[in-house]
Each structure stands twice: as structure tokens, then as C-alpha cells.
Chains A and B, each alone.
Chain A
Amino acid sequence: MSQRLKNIVKAGSLLALASIAFGLGAARADEIVIGASLPLSGPLAGFGSFQQWGYKRAVAEVNKAGGISIGGTKQMVKLIIRDDKTDPNAAASNTETLISRDHVVAMLGSCTPALVNAGALVAERAKKPLVTGCDPLEAFKSVRKWNYVWDLFFDEPELAAAQFKALAELGAQTNKKIAIWHDNGPDGQVVGGKIWPALAKDFGYEVVQNAEFPVDNTQFTSIIGEAKSKGAEVVLVDAITPQAIAIRKQMAAAGFTPKVLNIEKGAEPVQFAEALGKLSDGILVGGYWDSSLPYPGAADLSKAFESETKLTSSQHIADSYAAAQILLDAIASAGSTDPEKINAAIAKTDKTYAVGPVKFDENHTAKLPIVSLQWQGGKTVIIWPKAAKTGEFLFPLP
């Protein structure tokens, strides 16, 4: 190889390295860069995969339609997704990276309060708008008064009350003894530690056990044994998916079958039912979306997911899809990539999306209506409220 050729190769290599080091994710002048940190691995990966699909679909639709007009020029949208590995520290550092290295103009959120809030605090500090779902509203509001972060999801008191109302209206006959098991995460403590015990009293139930456990707990033998010995016929659980699966298996192995088993959070993704098979039948979970709800594009969204991925859809495709649409609508409405203008446009959102009607209040939250879902044959059906019902209530738990 001649010296000149060697020099060219060296220069090329250096340029390539420099571009990797400094500019891999850099924005081109003719594109709008948005980003998201998502749990694509770790215990919450079940949620992250659905969110990723929802975000990508919304962006793909906008790009297919020619992009967004900024200052009279149509620009394509580039979505950068980074894996936070279900680690709040990684969610925060991913958000830093999206802002400083990828130069995003705005962002979309992760999932669960721990991850969303970790990234949201970084966005807030950097004054970059962030729209998220998957963060229960009380847990979101409790962090701080938000200026640049917006959350559309369910409200914990409403979700917690939904199953009590559903059981009352559906005439579920039990001995009114409740066992509450919840993790010690922010939403677990709010729902399991405060709201459920208060609601149980209001609805005439006796709380015979209230057990808290760390979010990475895997053994529930004594908790289950105690609930069984105290004759609880209603069990309310707030736990993430791996724990939810462990709890159901260990309940069966301990010979404990209450009449009602409600598992919030962990029983949402389809991997819960896939891992448990027929053991998932009859389990209740609060929901905020189903493809049967009368919202524009709801049925198509679910069909598109299932035909593209060959997987059963989840309600998380709806809030993530809507969050991305809200952000993209705001950028279009602002006609600018200036974060302040985008933020002001998000505040004006007042539209019914596939997830339902979205209008943010003064706390930057939009409350999604709640339904009561039940796993039946590997799929969820709406059993309450009556107006939205898509299946019969399977009672007692098989």
C-alpha cells in the first residue's frame, strides 16, 4: 500500500471515529429529532416493547404523510430510542444523552413512576417538553409542580375504586375479607398502603392483611400462608409483572384460591398471561383502554399491532401512541422546533385520540377513564362498566 493510500485510510478512519464519537445521533438540519428512554430490557421490558411500537407508529404515520411543516418547510421526524434497562439512573442519563448528544427538541416518557419521573426531572431542568403515559397521575403530581412535562394516564384513586365498584355492581358474593399485597414503589405505597385500605372500609370490607414487599421480591410463601389462614376471599395485589407471575404461581402451589384476585400493574402486559397460561384466567386488572372503546382509531390500532407483530395487543400501545401524537401535533401546531413554543402548544391539547379524550389540567395531567378488565383465555375482556362490557364476569376465580 502506498504511503498516500495509507494516509487516506488513516484520515478516513479518524473521520469515522470522530463521527461516531461526536455526531452519531446528531440532528440533520432538515429533520425534527425527538427521543425516548424506554425499558426495553429488565423487569419492565414487557411495557417497553408496547410503548416502542406506539411511539414508532405515530412517527411513521407523520413521516408517511410528508412530515411536519416547520417555517414553511416540511421536515421528517427522527425518533431516537434508548434502553433504560428498567433502571431509573439509566433513564436519567439516557434523557441527558438525548438532550446533549442527540439534540432532541422534545421527548416521550418511559414507564412507571420510577422511570418516567427520573427522566422527567432531567427534561424539566433542561426545559425540554416531555409527553408521557404510563405514569399514574398521583405519583406524577407528587414529584413537583411540572412546567415542561405532561402526563396522560389513569388516576390511582379512580383505578383503585374501580374494582370495588365493579364487584359491588356485578354482585360478587364474598365474605368481605380482603388481603392487600403491594410493593414498596411509589405507586404501590399509594394504592396498596393508603387508597385500598380506605376504600375497603367505605365498601364494607374488612382488611385482614396488608403486606408490603420490595419490588424485587420473589418469595411470597408466608404472605400467602397468612392470607389463606385468615380466610381472605378477595386479594388485591399491586406488583410488577415478574412478581405478579410469581405470586399467582405460588398461590396455586400453596393451594390458596380466593374468590377474587385483582393484580394491578403486573397483570397488564400479555406476557403475564403467556407465562401463566390458564392460571391467568379470572384475574382482574384495572384498565384505561381497550380496542372496543368508541375512540377514533382504537380498533385499527389494535389490529395493526397484532398484524405487524403477531402478538396480542396491550393497552400500553394506546397511551404511548397518543403521547407521541400529542407531541407531534404540538410541534405541527407550533410550526417550530423551539421547545417553549412546543410546550405552549402541548398545553392547548384538547382532542379525542385513540386512547380517549385528552385535555391537560393545571397539574399537566390528563385523566383517562377507567374500565375493569379480566383475563379470560389469554385475552382481556371488559367486565365493567356495563356500557363498555365486552365479556361476562368470570366468578369465582377458577
Chain B
Amino acid sequence: MPDIGVALSTIVSGVLLGGMLALTALGLSIVLGVMRLVNLAHGDFVVVGAYVGLFFLKFTGVDPLLGLPVIALIVAALAIPLYRFLLAPLAERGPEAQMMTMFAVAIILENAFVLGFSADTRSIERDYATLPLTLGPVTVPLIYVIGFAIAVALILAVHWLISRTRFGRDLRASAADAQAAATLGIDVKRVQMLTFGLGAACAGVGGTLIGAAFQFGPSSGAAYLLNSLAIVVLGGLGNVLGTLFGGVTLGFLQSVGGLTLGDGYRDLVGMALFLLVLAFRPDGFLARRRS
């Protein structure tokens, strides 16, 4: 049985990390909710965010946390042409064509990372990323606390955007019934394009945080895609606040798995949970409380 300090530290760290992972999953969730698209390149958008954060620091000398809005805009600007030129023309051909297109984009991005930045493992080197924060018997990485705070703030901001603004109203209408929304004068393609860009921006912010907290390389995207899918299913498809719930739940349960079975079994616990939820509650735990 692990020491109480170790157990508490591991669980609190897991919950905080879950919040950060929720941010990486948020983009996948809103794109899925509005466009009915499982963006298989989402994990690679997270990696794009990590690289943008790394080079932002290198070339400007400005801390990537301060530059998060710029990083978000850069990643969104890179993603929007993908929607405009690859996804929009396939809109009439059903979600499968778009999904396979994004699968191809994921492969191309991974190879582009290798060509452009080499296959080396990277990390955004910041002092705060390796400092511990100790409160009584609990020690957690400071970057997890920072990441969690940013994730919660951003998720609440996106929730507000979707539930309280005109764009959010259009987005919800497009998500509910794109055809009906179009007949009411909503420019569904524009809404989808902005949603896709918003999703990429969230992935970019999450990627920068992940890049500072951990390490990343050209092929890191797949792992983040898998985690994001589990979080989206746990929290409910397209449910913004549910994503936070899904992330925190996954983080908590992975920590319990790490404590009881060993760190190597964290993903096993997460994926087992993912399958259980898919089997017994496919709309997620918070399905009735959609944003």
C-alpha cells in the first residue's frame, strides 16, 4: 500500500493533469459536436501547438504562456485552410470522406514534422515546468496547477462563447440541424470553418502546455488523440463542460490505476473505462446537460 503522501500527490496530480488533457480534447469535442467529424488529425494539431510554442519561445524569447493567444491564433490560421480546401468540398459526401481526409492529413503532418523539425524528442524548457508545489503531504508539479487553471478558464470561456453569443447560437443551431440552420439564414460553412479553427486553437494551447510539462516528438499525436477520444466519450459528445468532467475523471481514474497497478497500467485503466462508457452510456455521463 503506498504512503498516504504518495497516494494523495498522485491523485491530485492526476486530476490536474486531467484538466490539461480536457483542454486538448475540447477541440475534438466541439468539432465532433458541430461537424459530426472525428478529427483524426486532432492529436497532430496538439503537436503543432507544442512546436509553435517551442519556436515561439526560441524566436521571440517571450514565455509561451504569455504568448498563448498568439499561439492559438497561429494554429487556428494553419487549420482553417485545411477546412476551406479539404473538408468543405467534401461536406456533401458524408462524414466518412472528411474523416479519411483528416487521417491522411495526420500522416502528412507527422511526416512534415520529421522533415521540418527532425524526429528528435523535444521539450519546452521553462523553470516553472520542473518546479514542485508542496502543500502539506501533497506535492504536485507547478506546471500541472498552471495548466489546470488555464484549461478551466479556457473551457469556461468556450462554454460562454457557445451558450451566450450570437456565434454560439449559430453554432448550436448548426450542430442540431445544419439544413434547418441554413434555411434560417445561418452560414453553416462559415460556422463550421470557425468551429474547426476554434478546435485547432484549443488544441494549440493544450499542445503548448503539454510541450512544457512533458516531451513531444513528431509521432506523439496518436497518444493525445486516443486520450482525447476517451475524454470526449466520458464527457458526452459536443459537451463543453462535460469535456472538463471527462478529463478530470480520466485523470483521477488513471491515477488510481497507476497507484494500484503501477504507472504502466494508467492507459489500460483509461481505455477500459472508455470501452465501458461506450458500451453502457454511449452519450457520456453528462449527456443530458449539453451546452
Contact = CB atoms under 8 A, between A and B. Distances in A.
Given A41-B119, A41-B219, A218-B214, 10 more contacts: A45-B114, A85-B219, A217-B264, A217-B267, A226-B2, A228-B6, A229-B2, A249-B213, A274-B120, A275-B120
B5 interface: yes
Contacts of B143: 253
Interface in B81-111: 110-111
Of the four ranges (under 10, 10 to 19, 20 to 34, 35 or more), the interface on chain B belongs to 35 or more
Interface residues of A, number: 43
Interface stretch (B37-45, B121-129, B240-248, B282-290): B121-129
A368 B114 CA distance: 32
A242 B215 contact: yes
Interface of A: 40-43, 45-46, 48-49, 85, 184, 211-214, 216-223, 225-226, 228-229, 241-242, 245-246, 249-250, 252-255, 271-272, 274-277, 279
B254 interface: yes
A184 B264 contact: yes
A46 B120 contact: yes
B13 interface: yes
Contacts, number: 129
12 contacts: A41-B218, A42-B119, A48-B119, A49-B119, A221-B9, A223-B262, A225-B9, A249-B214, A253-B141, A253-B213, A254-B132, A275-B120
A219 B255 CA distance: 9
Interface in B1-43: 2-3, 5-6, 9-10, 13-14, 17
B165 interface: no
Contacts of A279: 130
A242 B217 contact: yes
A42 B10 CA distance: 29
A252 B141 CA distance: 8
A376 B244 CA distance: 42
B148 to A, nearest CB: 14
B65 interface: no
A241 B121 contact: yes
B123 A275 contact: yes
Contact of A252 (B119, B120, B131, B255): B131
Nearest to B115: A41
